Amino acid sequence: MTLFWIICAALLIVAILFVAVPLWRGTSKSNAVVRDAANLEILRDQITEMDNDLKNGLLTPELHEQGKRELQARLLEEVGDTGGTEVSNQPHPLKITAVVLAVLLPLASVGLYLKLGNIKALSPAQAAVGMAHNQDELKALEDKVAKNPGDPEVLVVLARSYVELGRFADAVGMYERLTKIITDEPIVWTEYADALGSMHGSLRGEPTKLLERALALDPNHARTLAMLGSAAMERGDFAVAVTHWDKLLKQLPPEGEDFRMVNEALDQAKQMVSHSKSGKLAPALEQINKPAQSAAAAGKERISGTVTLSEAMKSKADPNDTVFVLARAPQGPKMPLAVIRKQVRDLPFSFALDDSMAMSAATKMSNFDKVVVIVRVSKSGNAMPQSGDLQGMSKPLALGSTGIKVDIDQLVP
């Protein structure tokens, strides 16, 4: 708050100098100087006229001399009068104006700010006030739903508001009511699936069924295709993921950022399909229903540590932004081996990644000797990195590592 007033004072000083200095310097020269110059010019003209009259015989030499003395005496009298004016201590009007503005400008500025501005805008409590306003808006929406439970427009706005606030269970309830009123809109079923998947941390099961229903309504719905591809990757159905993402890619403009991200995801899915066909994933697939052995049996597939947000990145993160903590193989497919989903407001927090958090039974942490832990703050809520996201990364870690620290200190270009 103190810094704010210092900046305001500095700006006021600059404004005063900008206005007052030219006025002060622009004080006009005394009118007496101008008057003296005019009198001298008149004197010259009159003397010249008398000289001409003397030459033409219109004046005698005596009258000529007498006239010159009278003109000189009159000029001296007038110059004497202006000299008294020059030493006068009366201030110049422009200087008075400059002083008045220098006083009134800061008074008027401060007065207007106190009247029209918000003096508490930079106080630490302002964030709490903003949250209170959000709560008031949310309460107003909830009241509207209570009064008009069958209004789909209010229901969808409230459901999306719950999602933005991370209240996924409440959002699921709203979408469940909404789908009983609107049954033929794919976006409603897709958002319902997204909220349900966020609540459970997975798109497998019921969220996938909701997505399939949305796809039946619109086979080309972009968001549905994207999420179905992600759900297929979670299940290990890489070929299905390829089918959905390939169809989605054909709808996107090649120069867009969405095209780049979907294309990268599609390449990863194709790599997984290729590895599966070559038998590289066979050992893992064979062990799906077998008791865990070696590192897994000893609990050494677990990696734990703490996530922090660097001071430099705090201003770029919103409390409602999604935080993904994921483990990935240092080399090979970039598909996450385990994922945790949090929010920026939870930072700093402790985490633990293990096979129970695997997105696919075929790609678990215990299938690799080392992993890299990546923490990403996603502005869009999408696990795929996007420009403007924040990120932190560990070095390759052996399974069983504990006490690691990952600082979110990078901006995704």
pTM (two decimals): 0.44
pLDDT tens sequence across 133-170: 467 788 888 898 899 888 888 898 899 888 888 888 99
Q: How confident is the model at residue 52 (pLDDT cuts 50, 70, 90)?
A: confident
pLDDT tens sequence across 189-223: 999 999 998 888 788 889 999 999 999 999 999 99
User: CA-to-CA distance for 261 and 388, rounded, in angstroms?
Assistant: 14
pLDDT at 328: 86
Is 294-411 in the same CATH topology as 132-282? no
Q: Given 3.30.470.10, 3.30.420.40, 3.40.50.800, 2.60.40.1120, which CATH number is that of 294-411?
A: 2.60.40.1120
User: Pairing between strand 322-328 and 370-378?
Assistant: antiparallel
pLDDT at 364: 76
Query: CATH classification of 132-282 is 3.30.70.980, yes or no?
Result: no
pLDDT tens sequence across 326-348: 888 887 666 778 888 889 998 99
Nearest partner of 313 among 413, 409, 386, judged by Cα? 409
Structure-block tokens of residue 302: 């677990």
Whether 378 contacts 386, CB under 8 Å: yes
Whether 281 contacts 368, CB under 8 Å: no
User: CA-to-CA distance for 164 and 195, rounded, in angstroms?
Assistant: 10
Which residue ranges make up each domain of the chain? 2-116, 132-282, 294-411
Q: How confident is the model at residue 91 (pLDDT cuts 50, 70, 90)?
A: low
